[in-house]
Structure 1
Amino acid sequence: MSSWYGRPAPPATIHGTVARVARRCPGRTALISGRHHISYARLMDRSGRVAHHLRNRGVRPGDVVPVTARRSADLAVVLLGVLRAGAAYAVLDVRWPAGRLHGLVTAMRAPVVLADGPGSAALDEAGCDHLAFADLEHTGGPAGSLPDVTPDACATVFWTSGSTGRAKAVLSPHRATTRLFTPEPFIRFGPAPVMVNAAAVAWDAFTLELWGMLLLGGTALVHEDDLLTPPALRGYIKDHGATHLFLTPALFDVLAGGDLDCLAGLRALLLGGDRPPPENCRRLLDTHPDIELYNGYGPVESCVFATTRRITIEDTGGPGGVPAGEPVPGTEIHIVRDGVTVAPGETGEVAIGGTGVALGYLDDAAATEAAFTGIVAGARTVPVYLTGDRGHLDPSGALHFAGRADAQLKIAGHRIEPAEVEAAARAAGAGRCVVSAIPDRSGTPRIILFAERSTDAPNNAEQTARTVNDAEQTARTVNDAEQTARTVNDAAQIAGAVNDAEFRARLAAVLPAYMMPSHIHFVDTIPLLDNTKVDRRALAARFGYPH
């Protein structure tokens, strides 16, 4: 079965679209960072100087320019300058280890490497030559006209984990980003949108927050600190009129558990990167019915989102969780098995087609050929990206996510979906939980369950509120895996009214024996990575498991 968006967006470049917005409303605020406001006219002027400087430095279409920096208005100026010079950019996180930075910069064979202040320090440690942002707007004069590139040209390189243990560079074209916002955006942003720019710089959610606003004539509100806290969010809504926010479900859980009212005043909240929590989605819809709540699904190979869904109360009560949604503009969703689309309602691998699909992986022809291929959909052969995700399409064309094909566990000959065990654990009285398959000493994989206390457990609300409202504590929660994985060995303490024996009994009442976890570990808080996804390595390491 297949599903696609009715009216695909015409292809366009990112910088060409921003230039059209700037001509239409030059005085409108494009970027806010602290007390600094940058208009569209000023953004174009400064990014033009950066582009000419890069051209003088030998940057040409087809080049990839690594940029190591933190979130800032200057970063937005530089990235637009790189695109206007005809090149693609790859944003690298200043917090990454020096060895990783050196390896990625070397792999891109860049004519020039750019960095802000913290990025310069990181690249010095990594032994990489680079230019500072401060020098980029000083140029001896234009290097002629700036080049034209097509919407098919690479705009952004996203580095992602590879199954071989070596990072892969996803080559994302201009059209993959612009399809989401022009001429008709994937959701209703409304007039003069203002979106908080708080995502990790190397992640495609950063594309949503920055380019989404600049392509629509909105304002990107740059959050320069590492972590977005409730007090900061309240200030953005009150002082700057923030209308839109993106969160991972894990971070949304933290906010919903302690300070849901910090979201009051938003037009829309977008969730993505993992399955949204039905219980907290319901709480938000009940408490703030004027906030539009969306679920978004899409691997980085399709740039930001392939499907979206405005979440309703009814969606939060379904047995399969919140639907992943309908295709965004310029996108086709196919459910396939062995290269052929399956019958309606059947579960198979999710394949994504359309203008959002990446060009492939940098210098990895084998991985590109395996993932970017063709499938048979009716009488057509369609080029797609094979996601490795499983799902099905309902009669309306909405995608329902069914987990990762490679995340399935095989225990004693049985295929097990971790999400099913996690759902049973939540129903049995746990809060957020994570299932991993970890081998024992003999190499046999075992089901290990890591779980938080239930939101209904005694003292949990007070504890969560303290965690969320104290910015220093929250930063430790997100960034310090060792701290966040503190364990209380008495399961009865952690699970509140549900003791260890009762919890296991509840699981056994709904799970067959082969799906029962071999070990259950309760933790105060599930640790999160810098991009606020679950840190599975930290969980495993805390209890001495191999990772």
Structure 2
Amino acid sequence: MTPISFLITGDDDFTIGCGDALRARGHVIAGVASRSGAVRAWAGAAGLPVADRIGALEAGGEAEWLLLASGPPVPPVPAVPPEAARAAVRRGTLRFHDGPQPDCGAAAPPAGALLAGATRHGVVWHIPGGPVLVQQSVAIGPEETAASLIGKCRAAGLESFDALLCKLAAGDLNAATQDIDCQYKSKPEIVPQAAGRLDFTWPAPELARRVRGLDFGGLWNPLTTAKVRAGGRLLLVSGAHVVETVAPVAPGTVLHVTQESLTVASSDGAVRLCGFRDTSGQQVALYPAALEGAELASPGEAEAKALSAERAALARDEPHWRARLARFRPARLALAGPGPGGGAGGGPGAGLASWNDRQLALPKTFAAPEAAPELVAALTAWGLHSTGDWRAGLAWSTAPMVAGAKAHPGHVSPWVPLGFGLEAPEEATIAALAADLAPDLAAAARGSFAPDLVARDPEITAFGMASVGISDRAPVAGTALTLTPEGDRLRLWYDAQRLDEAALDLLEARLALFLDNLAANPALPLRALLALPAAERALTLVAWNGPQPADPPVPVHQAFEAQADRAPERVALVSGGRQMSYGALDARANRLAHRLIAEGARPGDRVGMYLTRSFDLAVAALAVLKAGAAWLPLDPAWPAGRLRQHISDAGAGLVVTDLVLAPILPPSAAVPVMIGGGADARRPGLDVAGEAVALVTRAADASGGVPGPVMLTHRALSAFCAGIGALADPVATCFDATCPGTTWAWLAGPGSCASALEMFCALTRGGQVVVVSEDARLALSGAQGASLADDLTRHRVTVLHGSPAMLQRILDDPGARAALRGLKQILLGGEPVSAALAGELRRFTDARIVRLFRPCGSALYTMAHVIEGGESGAGPLGRPLAGQSVYVLDKAMQPVPVGVAGDLWIGGPGVPGRHGDDDGRIRRDPFAAGPGHAGEQAQMFCTGERVRWRADGLLERLGPRRRRLTICGETLAPGEIEARIARAGGGSRAAVAVKGERPRLVAWVEAVGAAGLATIRADLVAHLPAPMLPAQVIALEALPRGETGGIDRAALPEPGAELRIGGPGDAPLPAAGLEAEIAAIWSGVLGVSDIRRADSFFALGGDLCGAAAVLARIRALDGLAGTAPHALFRFPLLGDLAGHLAQQRLPPADRAGVPEFDRQAIMARRRDMRRRSERVAP
């Protein structure tokens, strides 16, 4: 058969079916024109040219036939004018019709056949204006609905498509024999009377047939819906069945009622109605007590005629409003409280508003009647700007619409959507906007739409009531604010239950300023006219920002030195039975600082600290800052690859460590320096600039990729500690300038900059730091050994900082949660705080609960919010910390109105320093003021977070631009894991998500084999911390894609038990030996069987609580009592952990695989450091 070439146009799965049939038979598809995302995705996957219209296809004129492959009634295919069809193809147009003849006349032939009582239907393929080439019969069953018959027509269309292709191949364009009549072509009953209202004086079979004939399922319904009025509501009905009755009763009498169905008497029996929805398509439940025995009214002759006439009048503009509603997104005014849920018909409760009003004088320009279109356009623009969504719409209402809605409740909408169709309305002039609204206003002058249009059209997905309306007379029911022009005045109707006076003051001031600006400059684009009033600008930029210090904050080590001078004998650090005073800590830090300087450390250098959480780490941190260098935190639990990367990226020349950790420090360009010091206990006394780098850490930015180095200056670190210290209530005892009664628990890992928070926020204010050992941190409570609860109670800790997951673990342990009672402050950060957690904390402690917020790209907390009693955990972000500045800006870098979403920018000392230009994310801060901002050199940083100001001055988070995952109490940046997988997999795309009832991290990767999976696994183990290792890495031929081409994460397949990270080839463990013993311990803790050598404890679902249990059981094994707390974190894979522990069992002289110091190489690197420092020394 000679291939035939086609252009296809259509917007449904029938179009895809025809295309698949053409390709299966070897025909050519020269192009596809469709508005449907599904059809366009299918065409793209098949490598076919695709466009939204025929004229945009480059293949136009080359194909033989244009196939109008629209199935039965769904959103109509793009209009193809005759001249466009002639230009598109060489031979002609072919069209599918879901009726037995092309000229059946009904808007929906299958529904028409059912409403007319037909027992047989058919479909045809024809040439428009020409012969019917193929006709096929379709049987109608006794319980057929419009939706099911449409499905049969689709199937018949595809079945008969073969016959059409055969005729085309044979060159046969003669008319086919037509033996199916259009039985309903001229019958008036196929047009639903009374706008679909059921008349119970009809026989029961007729009622059931009417309901089934108007039941289109989820397809576009061009007719109307079956309706009843019950309990004061107009309800849509989608199901009906004839039932028998015992005795005749009056038609319309309710014989039986449940929440889902009504059995109603008819003229000859009864019918059971079900599938009730409101006019917007939402399912509703019935109230049996109110309906039992009631009599449902049937429309009388006059009412039926009036409803039919009203429905016919509304149908004329239905295509217009259908298109508008399909793109309609109701404008939401964030300053307004939730509404009563008004729909197209006003909705239940729409009349419960408490309307008040204010009046605003209009500029003379807009008082004239001829200026009405420009005024409506201006009010629409202002309303959308106040909601922050230019693609949304308002509600426009006129007196005739309201009158129609009152005359026919539920059948006529009292409002229509009003919005702009321009690509960028804010860049247009008011004249252009008025012209854009003209078609909508003209259609509105003729009437509104039938409310059930929303239920009939599946393309209308975001329907709801807008917060802002415009009317010509009265407030629009369901809105929070309605603007009504009245001559030279503008009346602002507002619902006092949803808008308070403070919010209305903001809105009124904005509106007045905008109208004045517009009247004075009508030719300017709106963007230049929608300025913030001075008072609102001052609120968001100054009054609601953190209080600025009178003087720039001093570096943290100098603040610590001031406390040491004030009370050198005061206890600074305590751990178990050991303690260290401020004076002793200062002296030890001074000695180490001199040693670091002697080793070559100079101001600006990076010095790594490879130490556990301990007194030594506190000494080293202060010593590095005293030496003028920057602290690079390193965690001994990190894998070697990650440690090397951190040291290399930061350019560290020295690493402070101890004799225990030095042998396992991975080789790098940095010189190891043993903790300790010389004889000189004097302070180095270096003059450290506020802009010098104090701490180097990492933070994932808004792109969600691999976290990059972030440099925190002395000014930033000092301001941060001061801000935390002045948090919430400045008169609280623990936040005084000098607060010896404050005791902080130091729980943060040594590789986290949270260690700086927990150390310096106490040491700079004269407080005490309880250094919680790793054993105690893992063990919450218990009779054996140290525990976190012991530390909190014995040392009277008053401030506890941690993640919500950690606090939840404490609450879940009866022995540990009792220790919470002595706390004064609980600082929660790292992940959202649930309402359940906040409520449970209040049951066990009177401490003030503070939620801290760290935006994307920042290493430090920027905002805080005290969770008050009765408030849910998922509340606002709060206010900026003292000394910090935050701005909510639009794309033009201008402050957005209160209640409008914008990008969060950080100003002041909290701006993180970064390598490179950050793609414009760091800019000069034009709003900076005060000595804490470094004047003209001040910068601000775009976090990538979307936020908005509330009317009470609190910030509300709308979401980050990058994804975040939380597992095992760790907040992860999935982009880093995905980027690592892509790098190891040769550029393969990857996706990461948390799956399962017991949350586990799973990764999916494209187009890699077993060898590729093994390479990826080895790379992840070498570079990612244990909690970031996926439990499984699953290879797929291709990752699922959405309509936009992005990864469809919801469609990622569920992981299978056999697809673990080690791969199916990982051999089982022997029945005995250390590996088997550890596997048994893991199985007991995790409840997981068949553990292999390549399995990761954390990937299998382990967390800190489980790690504590595993550690305790391992220490009970012969020869392993001294197992280090971080062993499981350094060696999360079972095979690696067993190998490490096997070495511990050997005598020191027999241990293998532990790298020794190359002392000659170290000495050579030290000499290089000294020579370099001598060259740069003054």
TM-score, normalization: structure 2? 0.34
In 1, Cα distance between the equivalents of 2:790 and 2:851? 25
Q: Secondary structure at the match of 1:103?
A: helix
**8 Å CA contact 1:181, 1:216 repeated in 2:** no
Q: Secondary structure at the match of 2:910?
A: coil
Question: Deviation of residue 167 (structure 1)?
Answer: 4.1
In 2, Cα distance between the equivalents of 1:275 and 1:33? 30
AA in 2 matched with 1:404 = P
Which of 180-189 and 204-213 deviates more?
180-189
2:644 corresponds, among 88, 96, 102, to 102
- Pair 1:263-2:263 in alignment: no
Aligned to 1:185: 726
- Pair 1:366-2:906 in alignment: no
Identity %: 27
- Pair 1:307-2:863 in alignment: yes
- Pair 1:51-2:605 in alignment: no
AA in 2 matched with 1:306 = T
- Pair 1:242-2:797 in alignment: yes
Cα pair distance change 1:450/1:280, threshold 3 Å: farther
- Alpha-carbon displacement from aligned partner over 1:386-405 (angstroms, at most 9, x marks no partner): 11112212122212222212
Aligned to 1:203: 752
**8 Å CA contact 1:268, 1:293 repeated in 2:** yes
In 2, Cα distance between the equivalents of 1:408 and 1:161? 10
- Alpha-carbon displacement from aligned partner over 1:249-282 (angstroms, at most 9, x marks no partner): 2222333344443422111111001111111101
- Pair 1:482-2:1099 in alignment: yes
Greater share of residues in strand: 1
Cα pair distance change 1:280/1:63, threshold 3 Å: same
Q: Secondary structure at the match of 2:875?
A: coil
1:5 corresponds, among 516, 521, 546, to 546
Aligned to 2:677: 137
Aligned to 2:699: 160
In 1, Cα distance between the equivalents of 2:797 and 2:962? 39
Structure number with bigger Rg? 2
- Pair 1:21-2:563 in alignment: yes
Cα pair distance change 1:333/1:407, threshold 3 Å: same
- Pair 1:351-2:905 in alignment: yes
Question: Deviation of residue 95 (structure 1)?
Answer: 1.6
In 2, Cα distance between the equivalents of 1:28 and 1:91? 27
In 2, Cα distance between the equivalents of 1:222 and 1:50? 20
In the TM superposition, what are the counterparts of 1:36-115 in structure 2 within 5 Å?
36-115=578-657
In 2, Cα distance between the equivalents of 1:99 and 1:70? 19
- Alpha-carbon displacement from aligned partner over 1:224-257 (angstroms, at most 9, x marks no partner): 2163442223212321111111111222233334
Aligned to 1:251: 806
Structure 1 residue ranges without an equivalent (≥5):
410-417, 419-429, 452-471, 487-528, 531-547
Which of 179-188 and 166-175 deviates more?
179-188
Cα pair distance change 1:473/1:376, threshold 3 Å: farther
**8 Å CA contact 2:653, 2:671 repeated in 1:** no
In 2, Cα distance between the equivalents of 1:24 and 1:142? 18
TM-score, normalization: structure 1? 0.71
Question: Deviation of residue 378 (structure 1)?
Answer: 11
AA in 2 matched with 1:174 = H
Question: Deviation of residue 107 (structure 1)?
Answer: 3.0
- Alpha-carbon displacement from aligned partner over 1:58-89 (angstroms, at most 9, x marks no partner): 21111111111110011100110110011111
2:878 corresponds, among 315, 325, 341, to 325
- Pair 1:390-2:949 in alignment: no
AA in 2 matched with 1:8 = P
In 2, Cα distance between the equivalents of 1:450 and 1:49? 58
Aligned to 2:716: 176
2:763 corresponds, among 207, 214, 219, to 214
AA in 1 matched with 2:1049 = R
Which of 247-256 and 191-200 deviates more?
247-256
| Cα root mean square deviation, aligned | 3.6
- Alpha-carbon displacement from aligned partner over 1:302-359 (angstroms, at most 9, x marks no partner): 5532111111133217xxx22211111111121122122211011222111112222x
Q: Secondary structure at the match of 2:839?
A: helix
In 1, Cα distance between the equivalents of 2:831 and 2:882? 21
In 2, Cα distance between the equivalents of 1:450 and 1:279? 31
Q: Secondary structure at the match of 2:586?
A: helix
- Alpha-carbon displacement from aligned partner over 1:446-482 (angstroms, at most 9, x marks no partner): 327999xxxxxxxxxxxxxxxxxxxx959x9xx9323
**8 Å CA contact 2:697, 2:859 repeated in 1:** no
Aligned to 2:956: 400
**8 Å CA contact 1:435, 1:450 repeated in 2:** no
- Pair 1:151-2:702 in alignment: no
Aligned to 2:1049: 446
1:294 corresponds, among 832, 850, 855, to 850
Q: Secondary structure at the match of 2:868?
A: coil
Question: Deviation of residue 143 (structure 1)?
Answer: 9.9
Cα pair distance change 1:300/1:330, threshold 3 Å: farther
**8 Å CA contact 1:326, 1:399 repeated in 2:** yes
Question: Deviation of residue 32 (structure 1)?
Answer: 1.0
- Pair 1:280-2:830 in alignment: no
Which of 180-189 and 215-224 deviates more?
180-189
Cα pair distance change 1:142/1:310, threshold 3 Å: closer
Cα pair distance change 1:448/1:337, threshold 3 Å: farther
Q: Secondary structure at the match of 2:720?
A: coil
Which of 345-354 and 74-83 deviates more?
345-354
In 1, Cα distance between the equivalents of 2:1085 and 2:620? 33
In 2, Cα distance between the equivalents of 1:247 and 1:230? 14
**8 Å CA contact 1:230, 1:262 repeated in 2:** no
In 1, Cα distance between the equivalents of 2:726 and 2:660? 35
Question: Deviation of residue 407 (structure 1)?
Answer: 2.9
Cα pair distance change 1:130/1:120, threshold 3 Å: farther
In 2, Cα distance between the equivalents of 1:59 and 1:378? 34
Question: Deviation of residue 6 (structure 1)?
Answer: 2.4
Question: Deviation of residue 161 (structure 1)?
Answer: 4.2
Structure 2 residue ranges without an equivalent (≥5):
1-539, 782-786, 930-934, 966-973, 975-995, 1006-1035, 1042-1047, 1055-1083, 1089-1095, 1104-1127, 1130-1178
Cα pair distance change 1:19/1:450, threshold 3 Å: farther
Cα pair distance change 1:41/1:375, threshold 3 Å: closer
In 2, Cα distance between the equivalents of 1:334 and 1:11? 22
Aligned to 2:493: none
AA in 1 matched with 2:711 = L
**8 Å CA contact 1:71, 1:201 repeated in 2:** yes
AA in 2 matched with 1:175 = R
Cα pair distance change 1:166/1:221, threshold 3 Å: same
